[in-house]
Amino acid sequence: TDNNGNSSSCNASVTVEDNIAPTAVCLNTTVYLGPSGQYNILETDVLDFANSSDNCSFSVSSISPAGVDCSDFETTVPVLVTISDPSGNSDDCIAEVYVDKSYALPAPWASEDIGNPGTGNTYQFDPCTQPPVFTIGAGAANNNLASDNIAFIKQNLCGDFSITTKVESITPNGYAGLMARESGATGSKMAGIYSNYTTLVRWEARTATNANKAVNFFQRPAPYWLRLTRVGNWVFGYYSFNGFTFSIVTAQMIPMNSCLEVGMASFSNIPGSTATAVFSNVSVSGGGPDIIQLPDTEVDMAGVARNISLFPNPARERVTLSFSELQLGELSNTSSVLEPSVTVQLRNQLGQLLEQRQLAPGAERLDWDVSHLNPGLYLIEVQEEGQAPQVLRFVKAE
């Protein structure tokens, strides 16, 4: 605009460029491998956000390597961190990352101190050994029959189940093995099988809450692998020297809740000392609904009922099923009742069908050769027309 008020205007385009790179400042830190044996590196692990800067703003554009694993354990890994601003300017730095292990238990496993921990219990899982191992440091001294003092790594299992482990080692002052119990209470009903890495196998069982437990010892060669199995109200203990062929140690009927705490257990037998137990090859099967589900069958009051007994139990050569005579209800015309068909099935402890037979009409006894069966628990299911199936259990002894 001039002195006479004349004016003119124009438009100007101004381009603002950011040519200034951000400044990246890295951290030197320690990260811990999780139960999977891996760790994904976070931005906050490697970049010092407080001292990194830009005249506008910045973000982390890359981290290399993005993670570490067991191969990096106890080493310092150089991690390249790159940051960029919205204009594409970038800077990088090197973070020195030391790799350690957290030793945390993997889900669904959890630790539990049963009773008095004594000198203290510790629980670890190492995913980087081959195979991975659980380690229990047990300060609990388990010398009281009335109550339990045990270091326990557990998960909850319902119904029938089987858990297997190899005891890699146990110090001479303790025992290591498998246990199933109703709760963490010291007087809970329970069963446990343990090794002290000799030929001795220890079996503990409490059949009534807050009662004294029974402790029994068995001699078995190289009982380094242990297995604890529940089928119905029966609990079975097995051992193996190689992890492939398992033989029964003992079996006991212990009616317990449907859902139990099950897992690896260890304790010291010398008060004031800590026993160290190492477990590998831990596997669990079952733990869901009962293997054999009996159908809901409506039986009329005038139906047919029969008592069935099985003997001997345990058995070595054969078992005998004894069938009572038919007990007829109040029928208007009993002469019209026909002998129902009866099917008898032999199943293993997993519910798999092994053999099937038909009971002859009018028969009140059935002999079954079991000499060829491996030691363990077996089920005989009797299916009678018009009735709910009946399941009988027996133990095949060595």
Mean pLDDT, the chain, rounded, equals 88
Per-residue pLDDT reduced to its tens digit, 153-166: 999 999 999 999 99
> Average pLDDT, stretch 34-42?
95
Structure confidence at residue 299 (pLDDT): 32
* Cα 20 to Cα 323: distance, rounded to the nearest angstrom: 95
Q: What is the mean pLDDT of residues 243-258?
A: 92
Confidence of residue 340 (pLDDT cuts 50, 70, 90): low
Q: Which of the four pLDDT bands, split at 50, 70 and 90, describes residue 279? A: very high
Task: Return the pLDDT at 387.
Answer: 65
Position with higher pLDDT, 153 vs 357: 153
Give the pLDDT of residue 325.
56
The per-residue pLDDT for range 295-314, each reduced to its tens digit, is: 333 333 333 446 788 889 88
Q: pLDDT band at residue 207, thresholds of 50, 70 and 90?
A: very high
C-alpha angle 161-166-172 in degrees, rounded to nearest 5: 125
- C-beta of residue 230 within 8 angstroms of C-beta of residue 260: yes
